[in-house]
């Protein structure tokens, strides 16, 4: 496991495919995810590049927070992995330690950030990110922050249509037992803790990447 100190929000991941996953500002899904994850970590969250045979994991029990436990960030992190020609985990695996889990993004979107519409597609019914459906939705209206004069925290789209309000679910996430080995890589460790591509926490963050040859332990708590 590599414990890397959290850097300013950003990413050193380089997309070599899936150009459709970039937003209208030419930001990669890795960069967009970093900005959303940073909301819960003092605007400091770095999404590291994935080495071969590694995946991004969801949050650890001690690093869980709303910025990680939502379908939007899961979708963006999945797109981030795919654009690096890496594999992804299921939504239930990502959310194993989350309680509650949110459909949508539960925090205000940072000013100036454009979140692709595909990040809001359903991942719960099939328990995974559907890259084909996402690509088909790539040119749909993006979501941005509400005007500063508004007191509403929900995100609104760049058109007059607002994005769906995030909803929290208190039902148990599916637990999984995988024989995939994982090498912790991604970043985002923090002041006082290690997080993995299981990502950020309120003041610290990190992300877990593990190599697909190590046995994942079954988690019985969020």
What is the tens place of the pLDDT at every residue in 186-208? 333 333 333 344 333 333 334 44
Task: Find the Cα–Cα–Cα–Cα dihedral 19, 154, 222, 183, rounded to 10°.
Answer: 20
Please say if the pLDDT value at position 151 is more than 50. Answer: no
What is the tens place of the pLDDT at every residue in 82-134? 999 999 999 999 999 999 999 999 999 999 999 999 999 999 999 999 999 99
| Residue whose structure tokens are 């969801």 | 58
Q: Measure CA 222 to chain center.
A: 17
| CB-based contact 34:45 (threshold 8 Å) | yes
Please tell me the total count of domains within the chain: 1
What's the maximum distance between 2 C-alpha atoms anywhere in the chain? 51
Query: pLDDT at position 143, please?
Result: 97
Query: pLDDT at position 148, please?
Result: 63
How far is the C-alpha of 184 from the C-alpha of 160, rounded, in Å? Answer: 42
Residue 98 structural domain: 1-222
Phi-psi region of 26 (alpha: psi -120 to 50; beta: other; left: phi over 0): left
pTM: 0.68
| CB-based contact 118:133 (threshold 8 Å) | yes
């Amino acid at each position: 496991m590599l414990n890397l100190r959290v850097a300013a929000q950003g990413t050193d991941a380089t997309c070599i495919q899936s150009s459709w996953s970039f937003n209208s500002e030419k930001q990669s899904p890795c960069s967009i995810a970093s900005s959303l994850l940073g909301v819960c970590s003092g605007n400091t969250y770095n999404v590291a590049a994935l080495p071969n045979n590694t995946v991004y994991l969801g949050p650890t029990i001690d690093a869980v927070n709303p910025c990680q436990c939502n379908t939007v960030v899961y979708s963006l992190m999945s797109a981030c992995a795919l654009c690096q020609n890496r594999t992804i985990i299921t939504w239930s695996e990502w959310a194993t330690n989350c309680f509650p889990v949110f459909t949508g993004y539960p925090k205000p979107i940072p000013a100036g950030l454009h979140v692709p519409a595909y990040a809001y597609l359903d991942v719960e019914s099939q328990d995974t990110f559907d890259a084909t459906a996402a690509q088909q939705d790539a040119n749909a209206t993006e979501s941005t922050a509400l005007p500063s004069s508004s007191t509403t925290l929900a995100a609104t789209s760049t058109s007059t249509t607002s994005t769906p309000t995030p909803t929290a679910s208190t039902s148990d996430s599916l637990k999984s037992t995988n024989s995939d080995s994982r090498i912790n890589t991604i970043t985002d460790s923090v002041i006082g803790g290690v997080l993995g591509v299981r990502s950020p926490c309120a003041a610290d963050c990190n992300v877990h990447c593990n190599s697909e040859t190590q046995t994942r332990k079954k988690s019985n708590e969020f």
